């Protein structure tokens, strides 16, 4: 039995608590980050708090092994005097939707093998995709995730804005969006690029630009240039 | 029984021919666009040729109803003297992978109700998502698709470049990519945006910029600005 204390009641804390509660090998407790007095002891204390709160919250925790869940913060952001680690789940969470933890990559970091093994067992109780990622690599992964998730989502948003403006249902684009992301599971994105940019189809490109707002035009041009330059 | 003649042997022609061949209500023939003499008669002649070939190929066809399959070209690009139409499938096709036509939106256009009905029956023999989209709207849809497909794929490509450069497996990002696109089926992309840009997290943004190439930096900045401005 591994005892886990979750500090924080946001999205990540919520889903982690539910998932650990369902596991027979985990004994989990959850507290708000505003109530740090008389914390129960635990094998692992998981700070599921906002990035900016890690320094202050970790300072107040005396438990033996404290980890944060942030993609962008180093392990050294933790200010506890005991052992440190990171339990980063590279996935997008929303409170309304249940998480399929088998589709969550666990990016783990610890200061020694025993602690890593403990985090690994914790992750294995929830899912199966487990990676050893140090703070430097996690930072890189986090910026890559901004492109893969935030910026991709912004492309969807612009596509929807264009449809809305011309009274076209965004629904027409959903199958294409889903297929584009499925392709990535077996085809290198560089190899699977199609469209006017990679074809150097200047006529279509100029035609497209006439339909866009100034902001959309700027983005269209810069991404077209980037695709054409292969960078 | 509807008789169909497909002119062109590329990706789209290949998949259409296979799909129609499997349908009991369609009698399909396929010819290369380089052999336009003595074409068999057909209820619908589908030009599955490149955008730039539509004018020249359509000029040589005497069949009663000729349609093209292009997202970016107007119905008036067709140069035949008889009836015209468009049979545009808004999906990404690759020759290696079979198409699930139930996931293909058929965007149809014709000059009269009877012709439209014919195209609709043709589409219904393959799939179920059928839309009446005129040339002007199809052009808009095509530029929206560039954002939703080509530019999104380019975001994946940049994410992979970042991973490759730092010796991190791109595989770690695949679950996030897939989940991001699934979310779009039930959440407005504007509502579901997360990450440092929408949070105005300048510290993380500056941190990210230090990890990027000049070209990646330029794209990161412009998309961050666009997310923050809500446009």
Tens-digit pLDDT profile for residues B82-138: 999 999 999 988 777 788 999 999 999 999 999 999 999 999 999 999 999 999 999
The pLDDT value given to residue A227: 98
Q: Where are the alpha helices (DSSP H) in chain A?
A: 11-21, 54-59, 113-124, 135-145, 152-165, 174-183, 202-209, 214-229
Contact between B201 and A159 using a beta-carbon 8 Å cutoff: no
Half-sphere exposure of residue B115: CA atoms within 13 angstroms, side-chain side? 17
Residue A96 has pLDDT above 80, yes or no: no
Residue of B nearest to A192 (CA): B153
How far is Cα of residue B121 from the mean position of the Cα atoms in its chain? Answer: 21
Residue A79 has pLDDT above 80, yes or no: yes
Residues 6+ apart with CB under 8 A from A184: A192, B153, B156, B174, B177, B178
pLDDT, tens digit (0-9, with 9 covering 90-100), for A23-64: 999 999 999 999 899 999 999 999 999 999 999 999 999 999
Give the C-alpha distances (Å, rounded to integers) separating B12 from A61, B17, B47, B145.
62, 8, 10, 17
H or E stretch including B44? strand B44-47
Picking from A133, A33, A140, the residue whose alpha carbon sits closest to that of residue A86 is: A133
Q: Is the pTM of this model over 0.95?
A: no
Query: Residue B148 is nearest to which of A146, A155, A183, comparing CB atoms?
Result: A155
Query: Residue B157 is nearest to which of A137, A154, A189, comparing CB atoms?
Result: A189
Residue A95 has pLDDT above 90, yes or no: no
Q: How far is B203 from chain A (nearest CA, A)?
A: 10
Q: At what angle do helices B152-165 and A214-229 cross, to 10 degrees?
A: 50
pLDDT, tens digit (0-9, with 9 covering 90-100), for B157-188: 999 999 999 999 999 999 999 999 999 999 99
The pLDDT value given to residue B199: 94
Question: Which residues of B are less than 8 Å from A10 in CB distance?
Answer: none
Contact between B231 and A218 using a beta-carbon 8 Å cutoff: no
pLDDT, tens digit (0-9, with 9 covering 90-100), for B29-57: 999 999 899 999 999 999 999 999 999 99
Residue B153 has pLDDT above 90, yes or no: yes
The ipTM (two decimal places) reads 0.93
A25 CB burial (10 A radius; 0-12, 13-18, 19+): exposed
Query: Residue B219 is nearest to which of A157, A196, A223, comparing CB atoms?
Result: A223
């Amino acid at each position: 039995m591994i005892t886990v204390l979750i500090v924080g009641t946001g999205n990540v804390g919520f889903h982690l608590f539910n998932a650990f509660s369902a596991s027979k090998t985990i004994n989990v407790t959850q507290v708000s980050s505003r109530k740090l007095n008389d914390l129960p002891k635990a094998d692992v204390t998981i700070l599921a708090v906002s990035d900016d709160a890690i320094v202050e919250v970790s300072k107040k925790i005396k438990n033996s092994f404290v980890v944060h869940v942030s993609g962008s913060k180093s392990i050294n952001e933790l200010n506890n005097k005991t052992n440190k680690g990171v339990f980063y789940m590279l996935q997008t969470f929303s409170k309304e939707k249940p998480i399929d933890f088998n589709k969550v990559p666990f990016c783990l970091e610890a200061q020694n093998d025993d602690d890593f093994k403990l985090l690994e067992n914790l992750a294995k109780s929830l899912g199966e995709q487990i990676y050893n990622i140090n703070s430097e690599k996690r930072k890189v992964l986090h910026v890559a995730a901004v492109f893969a998730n935030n910026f991709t989502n912004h492309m969807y948003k612009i596509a929807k804005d264009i449809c809305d403006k011309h009274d076209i249902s965004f629904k027409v684009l959903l199958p294409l969006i889903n297929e584009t992301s499925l392709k990535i599971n077996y085809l290198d994105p560089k190899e699977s690029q199609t469209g006017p940019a990679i074809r150097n189809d200047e006529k279509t490109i100029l035609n497209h630009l006439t339909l866009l707002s100034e902001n959309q035009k700027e983005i269209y041009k810069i991404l077209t240039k980037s695709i054409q330059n292969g960078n």
